């Protein structure tokens, strides 16, 4: 069970905003499939939502070249185009979409306070958090160079494009094992690049990986860089042979998948909201409700399992409906 903060009952309809603050019914922080879907539903429910898109308007999908697994796009669509479609639909129903990001919150009272860009204060009766999660990268310049050209942080999203090809997965945990097995059903060959001489994955997952014939585990290897003419054609690795003895190895691949985890964008609310050990916001099972009444979470900031556009959109719908019901009951 959640513990709820001691929210002061003030009867918000009779409380004036703080000088210089803007009062809104529904504030949506973050964009992407979750945020834009929440905005569509909130706007249609006459909540007059105000959305701040964050540092990456449209979310992670704006870095994806082709999306072929989202319903309604039979010919496929690029991530940026799809997110622009979402945004237009949200604006069509009256969502006030703004550029900016939340830097500080105060959820200690019934009217929630959110500071945008460290200076603009918004007071909101309800807040929907759709700030997403950021994939962890190795920090190589080549990861940026080949973004959209062979580098991906989501095998489920992009694996389809590598049918019959050769790919590499970086990581040694359960996520890396799962993605390697998923890709092995599509690709001709999968290299699993593991920094250590053991897998951090659970015993069951480790055994499954080892039993897939077209997965080759490269023990004690680290990625030095990628190469290719416009798209990834191979990777240069360091092989640790012990006693500071390293050997340079090159492998031919068409896709390079990062599976070293995600970081939920939740740091700015951790003083008020319950999160798991990684930072994913906890919600009441089957809802978007957090431990603070009137604050809801949707999308990748609360989903450590699926992290798909379609599931994020669905959770955004739930967040808007939960917010509307919360306001109806309160008033």
**C-alpha distances out from residue 218 to 19, 137, 197, 273, Å:** 61, 19, 9, 40
Residue 19: predicted pLDDT: 63
Q: Where are the domains of the chain?
A: 12-134+262-330, 137-258
pLDDT tens for 149-193 read 999 998 888 899 999 999 999 999 988 998 999 999 999 999 999
301 compared with 5, residue with greater pLDDT = 301
Q: What's the whole-model pTM score?
A: 0.77
Instruction: Tell me which of 142, 158, 303, 322 is the catalytic residue.
Output: 158
Residues with Cβ within 8 Å of 2's Cβ and at least 6 positions away in sequence, in order, are 274, 282, 284, 290, 291
Q: Is 279 exposed, middle or buried (0-12, 13-18, 19+ CB in 10 A)?
A: middle
- Hey, what are 312's tokens? 């994020």
Domains 12-134+262-330 and 137-258 share a fold: yes
Nearest to 149 by CA among 136, 157, 158, 137: 158
Nearest to residue 321, comparing CAs of 11, 41, 48? Answer: 41
Q: Is 154 a catalytic residue?
A: yes
Nearest to 8 by CA among 255, 280, 292: 292
Active-site residue flag, 26? no
Which of 26, 142, 154, 300 is labelled catalytic? 154
Q: Is 158 an active-site residue?
A: yes
The confidence score (pLDDT) of residue 63 equals 67
Q: What angle do CA 110, 111, 112 make, to 5 degrees?
A: 105
pLDDT of residue 108: 96
Select which of 16, 106, 117, 157 is catalytic: 157
In CATH, the architecture of 12-134+262-330 is: 3-Layer(bba) Sandwich (3.50)
Please check the confidence at residue 2 and state whether its pLDDT lies above 60. no
The predicted model gives 3-12 an average pLDDT of: 42
Give the integer Cα–Cα distance in Å for 39 and 31.
9
Indicate the fold that domain 137-258 takes in CATH: FAD/NAD(P)-binding domain (3.50.50)
pLDDT at residue 57 in the model: 82
Q: What gap in Å lies between CA 234 and CA 40, rounded to an integer?
A: 43
Among 39-43, 226-230, 244-248, 285-289, the range scoring the smallest mean pLDDT is 244-248
């Amino acid at each position: 069970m959640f513990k709820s903060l001691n929210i002061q009952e003030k009867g918000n309809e009779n409380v004036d905003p703080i000088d210089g603050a803007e009062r809104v019914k529904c504030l949506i922080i973050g964009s992407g499939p979750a945020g834009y879907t929440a905005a569509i539903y909130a706007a249609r429910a006459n909540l007059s939502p105000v959305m701040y898109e964050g540092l990456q308007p449209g979310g992670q999908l704006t870095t994806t070249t082709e999306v072929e697994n989202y319903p309604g796009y039979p010919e496929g669509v690029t991530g940026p185009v799809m997110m622009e479609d979402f945004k237009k639909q949200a604006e069509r129903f009256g969502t006030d979409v703004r550029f900016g990001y939340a830097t500080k919150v105060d959820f200690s009272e019934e009217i929630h306070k959110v500071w945008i860009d460290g200076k603009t204060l918004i007071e909101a009766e309800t807040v929907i958090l759709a700030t997403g999660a950021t994939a962890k990268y190795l920090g190589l310049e080549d990861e940026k160079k080949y973004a959209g050209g062979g580098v991906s942080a989501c095998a489920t999203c992009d694996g389809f494009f590598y049918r019959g090809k050769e790919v590499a997965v970086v990581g040694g945990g359960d996520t890396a094992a799962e993605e390697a097995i998923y890709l092995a059903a599509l690709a001709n060959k999968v290299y699993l690049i593991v920094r250590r001489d053991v897998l951090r994955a659970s015993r069951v997952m480790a055994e499954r990986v080892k039993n897939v014939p077209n997965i080759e585990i490269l023990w004690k290897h680290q990625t030095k860089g990628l190469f290719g003419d416009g798209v990834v054609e191979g990777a240069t690795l360091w092989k640790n042979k012990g006693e500071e003895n390293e050997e340079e190895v090159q492998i031919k691949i068409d896709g390079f998948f990062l599976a070293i985890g995600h970081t939920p964008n939740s740091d700015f609310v951790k003083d008020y909201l319950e999160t798991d050990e990684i930072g994913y916001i906890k919600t009441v099972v089957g809802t978007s409700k957090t431990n603070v009444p009137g604050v809801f979470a949707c999308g990748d900031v609360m989903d450590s399992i699926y992290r798909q556009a379609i599931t994020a959109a669905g959770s955004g719908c739930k967040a808007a409906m939960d917010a509307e019901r919360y306001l109806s009951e309160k008033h």
